[in-house]
Amino acid sequence: MKDKKVKKKRKRTAAEKAAKKRRQLEYMYVFMNGKQKRVKRPLTIDGMDSDEFIRQNADSIWLHQNEMWEYIDLPSDGHD
């Protein structure tokens, strides 16, 4: 039996590694209709979804100015 030459896998250059890292941070893979698709990652602030960050940190005046009334908590004074 003859020995087959095995081709070594080439190493990625620094530019290729940086491009891969950037793509991984910018995109994520999800399954749609049984197929794997690449989609942009949702925006995050401090690792939190941007909507969740707004809900936790915005005051009622800012929410009102930006028409996000559904997130304004009414003060509970004991009356229903």
Residue-wise pLDDT for 5-59, tens only, equals 899 999 999 999 999 999 999 999 999 999 999 999 888 888 888 888 888 888 8
Residues in the chain: 80
Secondary structure in 3-state letters for the chain: CCCCCCCCCCCCCHHHHHHHHHHHHHEEEEEECCEEEEEECCCEECCEEHHHHHHHHCCHHHHHHCCCHHHCCCCCCCCC
Per-residue confidence (pLDDT) for residue 53, from 0 to 100: 86
- At 78, the pLDDT band (50, 70, 90 cuts) reads low
User: Rg of the chain over CA atoms, in angstroms?
Assistant: 25
